[in-house]
Amino acid sequence: MTAETRAPRPMRADARRNYEKLVAVATESFLANGPDASLDDIAKRAGVGPGTLYRHFPNREALLDAVCVQWADSVAADAAPLLTAEDPTAALNEWLVRLVDHVGAFKGLASALLLSADRKHDTAWVLHHTSEELVERAKAAGGIRADVTTSELMQLTSGVTYACGTSKAMKKPSSSPERLIGLIMDGVRLR
């Protein structure tokens, strides 16, 4: 087989236009109506037929992914200063809190993504990768236990996101993300 897995073809101009419009409209719509927003409606707002939407994104998941990819980059960029912070453990703590906030802002839309450390999954990968760096730095500085993995921290963090998101949706008071992440960090910190 020739090396055609990459760049099979450059995508026609109108196709690209529609693709981008769809992602933009979808972002808006998912933020406004949550992850169950009507896809046909998104297509309509983007000025295309449902068929076009479904050709670009075979299912809701795919569209959600595309939306999240854009978002994940901005979130990861947010971490840059933390990577060189003086206290790596505090930086990790701060990052996890931000993660909860960011993911929460997406109405839990992306919380599943934290869990998959899969390279195929761009969003997840970006976030996992960033987290890993922070975790490694904290470990190297002797700030946290060596036996705790990044995945475990991501799982716990995604859990906090879920719990805070659900509580908010039910209008139940809940402890702040800071507090819950703090508790988790307490279990992980070396003393």
Instruction: Please report, as ranges, the residues that interact with a second copy according to CB under 8 A.
Output: 111-112, 115-118, 148-149, 151-152, 155-156, 158-164, 166-167, 170, 172, 174-175, 179-180, 183-188, 191
Contact (Cβ atoms closer than 8 angstroms) between residue 38 and residue 53: no
- The one of a second copy, DNA, none whose footprint includes residue 49, by CB under 5 to 8 A per kind, is DNA
| Nearest to DNA of 39, 126 (CB atom) | 39
- Residue for token pair 């196709």: 15
Collect all residues with Cβ–Cβ distance below 8 Å to 98 and sequence separation of at least 6: 75, 78, 79
For residue 10, what is the enclosing H or E element? none
How far out from the chain centre does Cα 35 lie?
Answer: 14
Report the nearest approach of a second copy to the CB of residue 155 (Å): 4
Cα(111)–Cα(6) distance, integer angstroms: 29
| Count of residues engaged in binding DNA, rule: CB under 7 A | 26
| Nearest to a second copy of 87, 118 (CB atom) | 118
Contact status: 52 vs DNA (CB under 7 A) = yes
Contact status: 51 vs DNA (CB under 7 A) = yes
- The one of DNA, a second copy, none whose footprint includes residue 52, by CB under 5 to 8 A per kind, is DNA
Report the nearest approach of DNA to the CB of residue 59 (Å): 5
Cα(153)–Cα(131) distance, integer angstroms: 9
